[in-house]
Amino acid sequence: MVGPNGEQVGIVRVEDALRLAEEANLDLVEVAPMAKPPVAKLMDFGKFKYEAAMKAREARKNQVNTVIKEIKLRPKIDPHDYGTKKGHVERFLKAGDKVKVTIMFRGREQSRPELGRRLLERLAEDIAELGFVESAPKQDGRNMIMVIGPTKKKAEAKAEQRRSREQHEQEQRPAQQPAAAAEQPQTPQPDQAIAAAE
């Protein structure tokens, strides 16, 4: 048997263990039933379950979900539209998400897949510092698909965003305090009001 603070009590009969638990106002919990002899521990079982649930919740909060964002392009895309789409891809990669870039071919464009491949390779070169090509461009029916993975992990990206937000908030606080002090009107003290009246 193990005591409430983790100390070894030794081999104890079940009746004695239950009596000890009742005296200490704790629960007798079987920790290792397969051991010879079985190991039991004196503990507050409700508190133990609560702490286990809190640990599980904290682990879930720190868990990172990988999201795949998708951007669709056409082979004959305007330079300005390409810049806009590239900006979206950069934003997704900075946030730590994967990006699936799809080029949609229509009609006679399907006979010129090299146009789509060139466009995807150009995009990969443009965002090289933020991500890497996870799966090379490949034709899938009328579409050509390429997956780009971020160089930063999602957890790192979130931590960086949190740090920059906190730093921004700290910079805003000192600027707001003097302005608030200037807005408060000066109220005359009672002694000054009496002196002014005389």
CATH number of the domain encompassing residue 25:
3.10.20.80
Q: For residue 157, is it within any domain?
A: no
131 in the same domain as 79: yes
Half-sphere exposure of 136 (CA within 13 A, CB side): 1
What's the confidence (pLDDT) of residue 177? 59
- Cβ atoms of 120 and 92 within 8 Å: the answer is no
Q: What pLDDT does 57 receive?
A: 86
How many Å apart are CA 67 and CA 92, to the nearest integer?
10
Which structural domain, as residue segments, surrounds residue 136?
Answer: 68-150
Backbone phi, then psi, for 163, in 5-degree steps? -60, -45
**Closest by Cα among 102, 89, 98, 106 to 138:** 102
**Spatial contact of 42 and 21, defined as CB atoms under 8 Å apart:** yes
- Residue 156, domain member (yes or no): no
How far is 107 from 74, CA to CA, in rounded Å?
12
pLDDT at 190: 57
Of 62, 87, 118, which one is at a domain's C-terminal end? 62
Reading the chain (198 residues) residue by residue, the pLDDT tens digits are: 777 777 787 788 888 888 888 888 888 888 888 888 888 888 888 888 898 899 888 888 776 677 789 999 999 899 999 999 999 999 998 888 899 999 999 988 888 889 889 999 999 999 888 889 988 899 888 999 999 988 877 767 777 778 888 888 888 876 665 555 555 556 555 555 555 555
Residue 188: per-residue pLDDT: 55
Q: Answer yes or no: is 143 within a domain.
A: yes
Do residues 41 and 19 both lie within one domain?
A: yes
In a shared domain, residues 83 and 126? yes
Q: Which two three-digit tokens encode residue 187?
A: 């109220």
Domain count, the chain: 2
